[in-house]
Amino acid sequence: MTTTERLAGRTALVTGGSRGIGRSISGRLARDGALVAVHYGHDHEAAQRAVKEIETAGGRAFAVHAELGVHGDAAALWQEFDARLADRGEEPGLDILVNNAGISVPGTVADVTEENFDRLVAVNARAPFFLVQHALGRLRDGGRIVNVSSAATRTAFPQITAYNMSKGALDTLTPDLAKQLGPRGITVNTVAPGFTDTGINPTLADPQVRQAYAAASVFGRVGTPDDIADAVAFLASDDARWVTGQWLNASGGVVLGP
């Protein structure tokens, strides 16, 4: 991996940036020249590995810790972010916010408990809302917000209904923010992955399940984290300056029909 100048001089924060799709997004934005804050909730070692990987490849990154889904999570994350920037002697502020962090609870409506539902909403919907709220004073004009949702919010997939509902909240947030922040030149868009090979989907370890998921794509394979990271990188770049309020299906053509 070698760095480019596409995002030179810009600072990005990727929530859940140490593993899976988030790790690939962090690496891609760093490769494009951004200073990347790699947020993590629990796995300190994974965050350090992600940062080390970026630095070894010639990029710039630092880890930011905050548990999401708890009271005061947004304020705690931004306080940590500000402190880490200051420690590095960097200018305060932000150019790119990627709301990627999320959790999943499998099960149909009959299976999900109230506790699980509340946790899903807290991490997948409430946390991004207040992270954006706290980011507004930090985000520079001409900045980017990218929300990572799910292709399952636009099709029936009852095996993870509660998860789909929580991600659907991001689909609603995106156009509202795009309208509000447009006068500042800030774009807001959603990227919606489909079946992607990450730790959040352990069912992919079953060869039959993997085959079924691969068959759902017109390309005949399961998506990779890099597939999603490249889509996010486009929306974070100047190339997407005239694109806002959009829902980008990054599912590999899942459920396009026969």
Distance between CA atoms of residues 14 and 97, nearest Å:
6
The reported pLDDT for the residue numbered 204 is 85
Instruction: Single out the catalytic residue among 40, 78, 81, 163.
Output: 163
The reported pLDDT for the residue numbered 200 is 66
Q: For residue 141, which of 189, 182, 99 has the smallest C-alpha distance?
A: 182
Crossing angle, helix 114-121 and helix 161-181, to 10 degrees? 20
Intervals of the chain under pLDDT 50: 1
Judge whether 149 and 192 are in contact, CB under 8 Å. yes
SS3 label, residue 193: strand
In the beta sheet, which residues pair with residue 146?
A: 98, 189
The reported pLDDT for the residue numbered 257 is 66
Backbone angles phi, psi at 43, to 5 degrees: -95, 90
The reported pLDDT for the residue numbered 218 is 95
The model's pTM: 0.96
Any catalytic annotation for residue 213?
A: no
Domain boundaries, the chain: 11-250
Find all residues with CB under 8 Å of 50, minimum gap 6, and list them: 17, 18, 19, 23, 26, 27, 38, 61, 63
**CATH number of the domain at 11-250, please?**
3.40.50.720
